[in-house]
Structure 1
Amino acid sequence: MVLMTMIARISDGLPLAASIQDDETIGRNIVNYQNQAKHLFRKMNVHSPSQMSIETDPFIFHILNDQQVCYLVLCEKSFSRRIAFSYLEDLQRQFQQDYMSRKAKKNFTDSRARRNLNQLNSELQDVQKIMVQNIDDVLQRGLAISGKS
């Protein structure tokens, strides 16, 4: 049985989301397991394995790291490792789908982002005009030199 699920950023260990099963199995020790999970998040880095399992009597943490995000589930030891990682992979896909789509929407609906894109386009057009003028100048010099020869 899944007892607790957490998602955190790997860069600083900041928890992004959490879900706790309301169950007497875990009891008052839930705070202890949450603290252990947060400690694990702080120890994660880009070189951490993409999948790992860590025992904490009488339970086990299964961890999936992907794209600077850590997905963690606390299960009973008897819970299938394969199912736990399948659950984490589903969670990872859903989190990325929801988060990335919201981030993309924000970039396109944010007036400041649109203004920045417009400013960038304007600057690129200015650079293009300058480059075209420089090329024309070089061609005119080449014609003038070949005309003198």
Structure 2
Amino acid sequence: MILSTFIARVADGLPLVASMQEDEQIGRSLSEYQKQAKLLFSKMNQSSPPKLSIATEPYIFHYIIQDGVCFLALCEKSFKMNLAFQYLEDIQQEFASKYGRRVATVSRPYPFIEFDTYLSKAKKTYVDSRQRRHLTGIKSELHDVQRIMVQNIDDVMQRGIAISDLDEKASNLVYNSEKYKRDAKNLNLRSRNAKIAAVTSIVVTFLIYLRFWWFI
């Protein structure tokens, strides 16, 4: 289930749209998650990862950044990640077509609050079980979510990690993994060459032994 949607300008964190759905099953007030969303926006910049998931127990934030605007959704963890990102891409395209040229010129918070009408309709489409099955069958193959990094909200908030740093850490992790694979491959190659050299040496020694011992 998609609980809330937030849209903000990345350059300064200015909130453009917010759509929240109160739910009796939510342990904490949604206003707390709204505060977390604002803090996340304040830590973003042009170097932030274009896609990211951030766990905030018992829910999870998913976001995409496109054309200097961040589209962020608070979802239940059971809600499929590929559908969450499809939802974000759908609302991004609609938002860009309506307000894309005006984003850089606005100065007051929530100037496009009327976009909430579209968000409400879009959320219903993705939450409805029949519509969701239809979307899964048609669009799930279009979205590779396996490489999207999932970060814990505490790491971002309490430790003061800028979101732009997460992309660098993920890149370093991939680089170190590839380096380990290369080192392991080289080690195996050297080990195999050493074994071949040892066997060759034994064979040559044996042939020399036969030559000089049996044919004297």
TM-score (ref. length: structure 1): 0.65
Q: Deviations over 1:94-142 (max 9, x none)?
A: 0000113778xxxxxxxxxxxxxxxxxxxxxxxxxxxxxxxxxxxxxxx
C-alpha distance in 1 between matches for 2:10 and 2:74: 18
The aligned counterpart of 1:5 is 5
C-alpha distance in 1 between matches for 2:39 and 2:48: 14
The aligned counterpart of 1:84 is 84
Counterpart secondary structure, 2:29 = helix
Q: Deviations over 1:73-101 (max 9, x none)?
A: 00001110000000000010000001137
Deviation of the 1:17 alpha carbon: 0.2
C-alpha distance in 2 between matches for 1:48 and 1:31: 25
The aligned counterpart of 1:94 is 94
Distance 1:36 1:8, change over 3 A: same
Q: Once structures 1 and 2 are overlaid, which stretch shifts more, 44-53 or 14-23? A: 14-23
Is the 8 Å Cα contact of residues 59 and 76 (structure 1) preserved in structure 2? yes
C-alpha distance in 2 between matches for 1:58 and 1:3: 12
Distance 1:55 1:97, change over 3 A: same
Where relative contact order (Cα < 8 A, 6+ residues apart) is larger, the structure is 2
C-alpha distance in 2 between matches for 1:82 and 1:102: 29
* Number of residues of Structure 1 aligned to a counterpart in Structure 2: 103
Counterpart secondary structure, 1:65 = strand
C-alpha distance in 2 between matches for 1:60 and 1:70: 16
Distance 1:30 1:96, change over 3 A: same
C-alpha distance in 1 between matches for 2:24 and 2:89: 27
Q: Which amino acid aligns with 2:59?
A: F
The aligned counterpart of 1:119 is none
Counterpart secondary structure, 1:45 = coil
4+ long deviations beyond 4 Å: none
The aligned counterpart of 1:74 is 74
Deviation of the 1:26 alpha carbon: 2.5
Please report the RMSD computed on the Cα atoms of aligned residues, expressed in angstroms.
1.6
Identity of aligned residues (%): 55
Is the 8 Å Cα contact of residues 3 and 26 (structure 1) preserved in structure 2? no
Deviation of the 1:25 alpha carbon: 2.4
Q: Unaligned stretches of 5+ in structure 1? A: 104-149
Is the 8 Å Cα contact of residues 6 and 71 (structure 1) preserved in structure 2? yes
Counterpart secondary structure, 2:70 = strand
TM-score (ref. length: structure 2): 0.46
